[in-house]
Structure 1
Amino acid sequence: MANATNVLANGIEIKGSIKFTNDMVIDGKIEGEIISDKGKVTIGENAQVDGDVQAGEVKLFGKVKGTITSERCELKTNSKLDGDIKTKMLSMEEGAVLSGRTEIGG
């Protein structure tokens, strides 16, 4: 199962840190850190994350309250980030909400 995608479905709640290597789709509720060195995390439109997110690539459709650190970050329409972003590349669609500071490049 090389390059397997991990899925945390809507209705699942986790308190604690999540560490993964490949790709992960989160559509549930997380209270804690999400950590991956090079992996890609997609935070679905039903997802609520209360904690920092650190991954190679982050696509945000839902809500995050915490800091996002990534190589590439995409804030999709109707997403909401209450926190800071530190990324090399940022894409933000119309309708996305960002309440925090951004550090882009480097």
Structure 2
Amino acid sequence: MPAPRVPSAPAAASHNPPPPAAPRKTGASTGQRNVLLPDVEINGKVSFQNDLIVDGKIEGEIVSDGSLTIGENAKIKAEIHTRSVIVYGKVHGNITVTERVELRKDAELIGDVKAAVLVMEAGAVFVGSSTVGAPASKSAAASPPKKAADKKPAGPGSLAAAS
């Protein structure tokens, strides 16, 4: 089975992650990685602890408090809600994270981003809107605040008065 295609730093170009082991239910260990290889296809909701590297296909929803890495061969059609995301492959769907989104040079993102930090390398494709700055929370992502829109005064130049 081929290893996931996630570019690494130039100094560690030959590093391949160990083969995936049976999933453990403890979230206490640090550095634990889950890997979905290119021949894996998932339709539905994916949730994980710690880190997940995806080089296969996912359609549905990805939810975690961990970090997600989308490999070069990955094709994702999903709503993503995680702590952070690094994209090398293709994502069609919205990404909401509490920390940072990184779009690497050959990444393709068709969808909206909500993140505290957005990093985009030259060559990455991003079609959508971004909300960057304050950390995105899961509750804010589920129901956008309407109070700000309700408090806007309808002045003489507003569209509401032009009917």
Interval containing the TM-score (normalised by the shorter chain): over 0.9
Matched, 1:44 2:71: yes
Q: Which runs of 5+ in 2 are unaligned?
A: 1-23, 135-163
Percent identity (aligned): 47
TM-score normalised to structure 1 length: 0.96
Q: Give the equivalent residue in structure 1 for 2:161.
A: none
Partner in structure 2 of residue 69 of structure 1: 96
- In the alignment, does 2:126 pair up with 1:98? yes
| 1:34 corresponds to | 62
SS in 1 for 2:83: strand
Q: CA deviation at 1:54?
A: 1.1
Relative contact order: is structure 1 or structure 2 higher (C-alpha 8 Å, sep ≥ 6)? 1
Q: Counterpart amino acid of 1:79?
A: A
Q: Which amino acid aligns with 1:84?
A: D
> CA offsets, 1:37-67, max 9 Å, x none?
2x00000000000011111110000000000
What is the CA distance between 1:21 and its match in structure 2?
1.6
The two structures, once aligned, show a CA RMSD in angstroms of 0.9
Offset at 1:9?
Answer: 0.5
The 5-angstrom pairing of residues 72-83 of structure 1 reads 72-83=100-111
**Aligned partners of 1:54, 1:47: CA distance in 2, in Å?**
17
Paired with 1:74 and 1:29, the residues of 2 have a C-alpha distance of 19
1:5 pairs with 2:42:
no
SS in 1 for 2:58: strand
Return the offset for 1:7.
0.4
When Rg is computed on C-alpha atoms for both structures, the one with the higher figure is 2
Higher helix share: 2
Q: Aligned equivalents of 1:89 and 1:79: distance in 2?
A: 17
> Structure 1: any 5+ residue segments left out of the alignment?
none
Q: 1:21 aligns with which of 49, 60, 67?
A: 49
